[in-house]
A = this chain, B = another copy of it.
Amino acid sequence: MLNFKTALSFKYINRVNLNVLVKDSIRSSSKLGWSHMATESDLRDWKPPSKQNKFVTGLRLRNSLKHSENVEFVPEEGRKVKWYTCGPTVYDVAHMGHARTYIACDTIRSIMQNYLNYDVFFVENITDIDDKIIQRALKEGKEFSDVSSHWEREFWSDMLSLGVSLPDCITRVSDYVEEIVEFIERIVSNGYAYESEGSVYFDIEAFRSSGKHAYAKLEPNSFNDLNRILDAEGSLTEVSANKRSKSDFALWKRSKENEPSWDSPWGPGRPGWHIECSAMSSCIFEKGVFDIHSGGIDLRFPHHDNEIAQSEAYFDSNRWVNYFIHFGHLHIKGLKMSKSLKNFVSIKEMLSRYNRRQIRLLFLNARYDSTLNFNYDAEGMDETVKIDDELYNFFSRLNSRLSKPELEQKWSEEHLELSRMFERLKTEVHEAILDNFDTPEVLSLIRKFVTHVNTFMSDVTKTVNYTQALSFKEYLYRILGVFKLVEPGCEYGVDKEVSTSENEKKLLEELVNLRQKTRVFAQAALKSNSTEEAKSILKHCDHIRDVSLPNMGIILEDDGSSVVKYKSLHDQELERLRKEEKKKQREQLERERLEILSTPPEEYIHKSFPNKFGKLDEQYLPVEYIDGTPISKSERKSMEKVNEKVTLWFS
């Protein structure tokens, strides 16, 4: 029985729980039937995930689901970031507009994973069923799938040359047609889509009037933008006359004779554009809700708005993705760079003029979600090349300081001041990153710091301590590494392919050395016939094999073709030493065993313990010491043990 006080606190707890329930019920309103009271505006209202048991870094980002302000990022589950991004439609060469989108995405993914320490699981799709691909295949007289796989390969190759990391998972539409059909069937059975003349359309009116969903959450004002809606349907699409509303979009499109098609309950056809992302993301993120959905800003409406509608219709829930991130466009002379406007510069073309570090710097120097004006002429990249040079020169200078290690100098007020400035830099960089990934601000902070340290180092009365210079370099390389401006284990400005590792330097030195000697020798041999030089060059060749290469940990074996083994000589040496030691131990044991084997049992005890015991019994165990006194019980026992061991060895 509850007493009055307990009852009161019980009531209090109930009220608290009720509060939680009310909040939860709003978030999953459709299931509880509360939603009928909610207006479309209420349903459109974005609510952040609960912070309880979540990894919260203070990251605030621009969420297209919340129009007015940046919002705090809170994962759906612990530290996990489940992320789906719209990949390319693979029918043509990728251009700098694509580079902008995928580098911006790669940058913030890298920040979240490698700097902020979220566990990012990043999925990207490949749209390999699309009217543009069909058109190109028809035009070129090629197999539809040959066209898409060719351009998919080209796309990933471009991404790798830009340093964009591969996704954790890639979903290709043609692999998921069956799942897409099932996805559409459920939307139909939930009452949010209908079949018409072999195609299936999403029923926007049914969706809106359900009282459970709002349509066009990302761009409510684009609701009636028929041009964009029809443009997204694809140029080969026949629009059914029986569509219930002009805004209704295709989930499944009937295919004509010469178009690729897949079986479905509605006859041969192919998936609409929007449905693929809803269906494929649900195959990978099995619980439905995930954290981030991203893509270029042009995808916000109708593509992403329709994806939201489809997924809500499938799960019959008012919540699907927590954060929608959109990347700004690349403009060239005020117009969006695009295939259709023919004002594009391909990634390969750009890479023939600038390296990938410079291209990434160009994009890092603008916010990922802003429009970037790009001038493709001789001066257009000057600012970027200037920043690149500034950083390159700074790190060359810092490395020159670091090439002279010395014992720490006492920290003067100057060193402390420099250290305080460095600590401020780290704090401000962190804050800029948390502020919607403000990479241009990070670059600006780093450049100011670099200028300051340069001035400090130019002052002949001042010295930067070795440990300080090293801390600066390590921190800056870490941040620039997250931005992919510095490759792991490489210096700034040096690609991995042009690494200046110690070993490589030595190798090159050897090569150059040998080459020089060979040349001189060969030149001389053209004139005279001395064998002395030939002997000397052979000696040098042996030296490379016997001294120089082993010192680099490389073993060169002189058979006909010269075999090179890579495993570190040091490690091999250590393994050899350990094996030798074990072998010695085994040999020692073996020697002892042989010794015993060659000893008659009656002699063994006297031989092993000389001058200790006297008489032995019939088991050849001692009964007395050499002076005749009987041996103790414990001595007897230990002798029995010795005997057992010997017997075992004999066996």
Q: Give me the interface of A with B, judged by CB distance under 8 Å.
A: 55, 57-58, 78-80, 114-117, 119, 121, 149, 152-153, 165-172, 175-176, 283-284, 286, 352-355, 378, 385, 407-408, 410-411, 416, 419, 423, 426-427, 430, 465-468, 470-471, 474, 478, 487-490, 493-504, 507-508, 510-512, 514-519, 521-523, 525-526, 529, 531, 534-535, 537-538, 541, 544-545, 552-554, 556, 561-562, 564, 566-571, 574, 577-578, 581-582, 585
24 A-B residue pairs with CB within 8 Å: A78-B427, A79-B426, A116-B117, A152-B407, A153-B407, A169-B408, A169-B419, A169-B465, A170-B467, A171-B408, A175-B410, A284-B411, A284-B416, A385-B578, A497-B552, A497-B553, A498-B570, A500-B566, A503-B504, A510-B511, A511-B514, A518-B537, A521-B522, A525-B534
Given A487-B489, A564-B512, decide whether A552 and B378 contact each other with a Cβ distance below 8 A. Answer: no
- The answer on a CB contact under 8 Å between A562 and B407 is no
- The answer on a CB contact under 8 Å between B416 and A79 is no
Cβ-neighbour of A355 out of B489, B531, B571 (below 8 A): B571
Tell me which residues across on chain B come within 8 A of A79, comparing CB atoms: 426-427, 430
Cβ-neighbour of A407 out of B57, B149, B495, B582 (below 8 A): B149
Q: Separation in Å of the A375 CB from the closest CB of chain B?
A: 13
- The answer on a CB contact under 8 Å between A410 and B176 is yes
Cβ-neighbour of A489 out of B167, B407, B488, B570 (below 8 A): B488
Q: Separation in Å of the A634 CB from the closest CB of chain B?
A: 24
Q: Separation in Å of the A283 CB from the closest CB of chain B?
A: 8
- The answer on a CB contact under 8 Å between A121 and B423 is yes
Tell me which residues across on chain B come within 8 A of A489, comparing CB atoms: 487-490, 496, 499
Given A423-B121, A508-B554, A525-B525, decide whether A562 and B416 contact each other with a Cβ distance below 8 A. Answer: no
Cβ-neighbour of A467 out of B168, B537, B570 (below 8 A): B168
- The answer on a CB contact under 8 Å between A507 and B518 is no
Q: Separation in Å of the A413 CB from the closest CB of chain B?
A: 11
- CA–CA, A174 to B385, complex, Å? 47
Nearest first, the 7 closest Cβ-Cβ pairs linking A and B are A489-B489, A170-B408, A175-B410, A488-B489, A511-B511, A498-B553, A522-B534
- CA–CA, A518 to B168, complex, Å? 48
- CA–CA, A28 to B258, complex, Å? 83
Given A468-B168, A531-B525, decide whether A507 and B511 contact each other with a Cβ distance below 8 A. Answer: yes
Tell me which residues across on chain B come within 8 A of A149, comparing CB atoms: 407
- CA–CA, A379 to B489, complex, Å? 34
Tell me which residues across on chain B come within 8 A of A545, comparing CB atoms: 515
Q: Separation in Å of the A220 CB from the closest CB of chain B?
A: 35
Tell me which residues across on chain B come within 8 A of A283, comparing CB atoms: 411
- The answer on a CB contact under 8 Å between B355 and A574 is yes
Tell me which residues across on chain B come within 8 A of A490, comparing CB atoms: 489
Tell me which residues across on chain B come within 8 A of A175, comparing CB atoms: 410
- CA–CA, A501 to B508, complex, Å? 13
Q: Which residue of B lies closest to A379 (CB)?
A: B582
- CA–CA, A538 to B526, complex, Å? 10
- The answer on a CB contact under 8 Å between B172 and A495 is no
- CA–CA, A525 to B532, complex, Å? 10
Q: Separation in Å of the A113 CB from the closest CB of chain B?
A: 9
- The answer on a CB contact under 8 Å between B502 and A501 is no
- The answer on a CB contact under 8 Å between A167 and B407 is no
- CA–CA, A427 to B119, complex, Å? 8
